Every structure is written in C-alpha cells, then in structure tokens.
Amino acid sequence: MASNFKTIPIIDISPLLKKSDDPTMSEDKGVLEVCNLLDRACKEAGFFYVKGHGIPDSLINAVKDVTRDFFDLPYDEKNKIKLSAVTGYRGYQRIGENITLGVPDMHEAIDCYREVTPGMYGALGKSLEGSNMWYLFWFRPAALMVAKPRPCWVRTLLIYQKEMYIYLLFHRAMNLYMDKCDNVDFRPSNPSNFKPLMEEYLGLLKDLSRRIMQGISIALSGSPNMFEGERAGDPFWVMRIIGYPALSDSTNAMKLDNDIGCGAHTDYGLLTLVNQDDDITALQVRNRSGEWISAVPIPGTFVCNIGDMLKILSNGLYESTLHRVINSSPKYRVSVAFFLEPNFDAAIEPLECCVQHTGGVAKLGRAVYGEHLVRKVLTNFVM
Ligand SMILES: N=C(N)NCCCC[C@H](N)C(=O)O
Ligand SMILES: O=C(O)CCC(=O)C(=O)O
Ligand SMILES: [Fe+2]
C-alpha cells in the first residue's frame, strides 16, 4: 500500500527507547508520538531512518571499517570462508554469485545467520544448519573434508547426517579454540577484531530492533509485546556484510555488463536496519508510481524497512517495499544490513487487530517463516 512518497522520513525513537521496559508504555505521550510517526512511515514508504537509537557512532563506523578491511583482502583469502551448502549458506560470496531476478548482483558479501544446531528445526532448518565463519581458517579445508562424501566403506559408517554433525561440532570447537588463542601464530590478523566487534554489534541491533517492534505493535493498536512469544519471542536473525565495487573498477569484468549492485527485491522478515557508507548514495526505494527514491545517507542513522513477514502480519497495511542498490560512484561502497525475523518455525498470518483495521477480511495468506527464508536462500545462489 505504498504511496507516492518522494522522501523517506526521519524518526527520533529515543522517547520509545526510554520507556521500553515500562509495562504502561503505550499510555506515554512521547511513545505515542513516535508510534504515530512509525505508523505513517510504514504505511506510506515502508522505509524510514531512525535516529536517537543509542548505538554509538564509533561502533557504527568501526563495523564499516572492519568490513572494508575484509573486502580489501585478496580473493583467495576471502574465499577461505566461502559460502556453500555445507556451511549452511554462511560465509563469503564473490561478486556475481548472488542472483536477483535472474541477474548476478554486483556485490560481494558475508552472510551470517543465527546459529542452527543439527536437528534444531527438523527438516525445515536442515539447509541452514551451521554456525558463522568469523575467521579465515587455514585449516578449514580439513574441516570441510570431514563433511565431504567418502569412499563407500566409510560412507556406510558415516552417513551424511553424521558427517555433518561431526563437521559442525568440529567447526564449533575451532571457534571456541580460536577465541581462546589471542595473537597465536595461526590466528589470522585480518581483521583481528572481526568476530568480537560484529558480535557486540549484533547483540545491540537485536535489542534495538525488538524495541522498534514494540513501537510498531503499538502503532498497529496491539499490545507492546504482540511480537513476543510464538511469533517472534525467540527471533531468527540474519546479517549481511556487503561490499559494492566502484563503477570504475576495471578489475571486475562483469561490471561491464551489469551495474546493479543488488537487484530490486523485498526483505524477508520483520524489520531491516541498514548501516550504510556515509558518502555514497546508492540505495533506492520504489514508490507507488514506480519512481526510485534515493535513501541518501544520513550519518549516525540506520535505514529501516519492513519485511515480507510484517506485511503479512499487518494484513498489507504495511508494505515490504521494493528496493535496489546501484553504486554509480567511483568509490567502493560498504553496508551492513541486520534483519530481525520471526521465530524460525513461526506460522505467520494477519493479526486480528490488523484484519479489523483493513475491512475485516484476511487479504494475505499464511506463511511459515523458515520455509520462506529457505526458498529464497536456495534460489539466491549459482554454485
Ligand atoms: N535477506 C535479504 N534481504 N537478502 C537480500 C539479498 C539480495 C536479494 C536476493 N538475491 C533476492 O532475490 O531476494
Ligand atoms: O546495501 C544496502 O544499502 C541494502 C542492502 C539490501 O537491501 C539487502 O541486503 O537486503
Ligand atoms: Fe534488502
């Protein structure tokens, strides 16, 4: 239900954050003002900037710096944490590996997901089983061999599932071991603070996005905790660490054929928070008449947008707006997108309060979030 918006609103959410632990928050005047602004933004654009979010600028910038450091590494180094089916689709994807609308995207990225342990979500979660790859392991190939198909006599002993289990345990043990060994020879120094920095950031963004969801609950005339419990009380999350080559980057032959950093798409979950480079305008948002409106960087803010699951929950009152990225600047652009999602196994359907606000009929069908995500992930890559 997006409108013909020309600009993306900026919302100071500090009054909402101040009251997020207060059970009577929905009676607070300051909170209600923020919720009104959220409601308008979610109806009109499905996009807004948030300021007054409390995440220090120094951390926001350090996350982008470490991202740039990673993508500056030679390709062979980056590929040591290569994304594949075996890693649960976590890790590094080179330029052109992610596909949108059938076209290779001109970005490279590290995809991270909440850890999925073997059997955690049964068959639904199988393809995403794994934990994130924060280190460039020189002994990772050895770990991968544990999970690779073996000669027949071994295969009869170790069926794929067992191999996977061993691999995941090994991977986790390596992570624990690496955490303990600061500055030991084999520990890559590139970038040395990658994991602790990203994990600190993740922790804060999970918390922040859940608090914004409280505001959205109130905006939808529900209780502040409408998204807790079975819907998103144990939320899944996704983080994409992304780099977009500069227009003039002649090292990238594919760039000649396609200048789209990321093709037009909607996000899959509830709410996305994008931390983008301050000096390059590249993210574009589509309004109802099909015009592309730039989400010009505003330092110190996050660009926030609605995902497919919140569109369903709101019975279409809020739009998961199409957006794309085109980096036509002569500089390499980085962004880090955090996605708050529902519980992995949540069955998502229009909320009663939203059905009432939209003519009394459920316009959108039910979806199991994990199925939606897995369907997307499995069609996003050529491998
Ligand atoms: N989790 C998110 N939003 N990922 C977006 C990735 C880029 C779009 C993807 N190839 C697609 O076609 O959906
Ligand atoms: O890089 C950006 O600004 C946005 C990225 C994005 O839309 C996504 O990864 O879903
Ligand atoms: Fe997106």
Backbone phi, psi, residue 256, to 5°: -65, -35
Contact predicate 248/59, CB 8 Å: no
Out of 110, 296, 298, 325, give the residue to mutate to test ligand 2, the one with the largest number of ligand atoms within 8 Å of its CB: 325
* Whether ipTM exceeds 0.85: yes
Q: Whose CA is nearest to atom 10 of ligand 2?
A: 267
Contact predicate 80/139, CB 8 Å: no
Q: Whose CA is nearest to atom 11 of ligand 1?
A: 100
Q: What is the tens place of the pLDDT at every residue in 342-363? A: 999 999 999 999 999 999 999 9
Distance 338 CA to ligand 3 centre (A): 10
Give the whole-angstrom CA distance, residue 243 versus residue 224.
36
Half-sphere exposure of 80 (CA within 13 A, CB side): 17
Q: Which range, of 6-10, 177-181, 274-278, averages the lowest pLDDT?
A: 177-181
Write down the pLDDT at residue 135: 67
Distance 52 CA to ligand 3 centre (A): 23
Q: Whose CA is nearest to atom 5 of ligand 2?
A: 337
CB-based contacts of 126, cutoff 8 Å, min separation 6: none
CATH class of 10-130+192-377: mainly beta
Give the whole-angstrom CA distance, residue 153 versus residue 69.
45
- The DSSP H or E segment spanning 33 is helix 29-44
Q: What is the tens place of the pLDDT at every residue in 280-301? A: 999 999 999 999 999 999 999 9
Question: pTM value?
Answer: 0.89
Q: Whose CA is nearest to atom 9 of ligand 1?
A: 100
Angle separating helix axes 29-44 and 194-219, nearest 10 degrees: 100
